[in-house]
Amino acid sequence: MKIIKLKITIILILLFVVSCKAQTLPLNTALSDIPANAYLKDINNELFPYVGTYKANFQGKEITLYIAKEEGKLEVRSKKQFYRDALVVKYIVKNSNGVILQDTKNNNVPKIELYSIAVRSSKNTIIFYYSGTNCRVGWGDVFLKKINDTQLLWEYRPDDIILDDSRCPPGTDIKIYLPETKDLIFTKQ
């Protein structure tokens, strides 16, 4: 009898969990309108045109962006947890001799993040959050505007951070390797 009650309880719990599906909303839903655990879905395939590998040269460095779409990426903002379809950017920066200066593509440590947080469809632009390098140096926003099927226009707006020995140990590499510029063209490979 106890086994039958246990099985019935398990079945009821499973039915409850399956029926409590998170609310699905469009990508550009305002943060204030997002309920806890909601899912911001790329309903109109606005992210797909940006997916791919792109290259640019800036001040003697070659920057390669690897842009992929991630579905259901967990995000916590303003003490609110929700999921969103997002573009995630991994990158490799090389100097003029081909020496790798920074590589987030082959480094599986999720220390440096660059992912989309908003879509401005009317301007063909995606806004990305950049966590910065070591000690969060360079954190800020990156804007990618789709010029045509093979080119993106880059703008990087780093925010300030005050560093001291308690926030960043002496000798830590705090160089920003991403191009700190506006109107840099990346070409699809």
Average pLDDT score, the chain:
88
Q: What percent of the chain has pLDDT over 90?
A: 65
Phi and psi of 165, rounded to 5°? -60, -25
DSSP-assigned beta bridge partners for residue 57: 62
Tens-place pLDDT, residues 101-128: 999 999 766 688 999 999 998 899 999 9
pTM higher than 0.85 for the full model?
Answer: no
- The predicted pLDDT at position 4 comes to 65
Tens-place pLDDT, residues 7-27: 566 654 544 444 445 699 999
- The predicted pLDDT at position 183 comes to 96
Tens-place pLDDT, residues 72-83: 999 988 788 999
Tens-place pLDDT, residues 55-96: 999 999 999 999 999 999 999 887 889 999 999 999 999 999
Q: Which residue has the higher pLDDT, 158 or 134?
A: 158
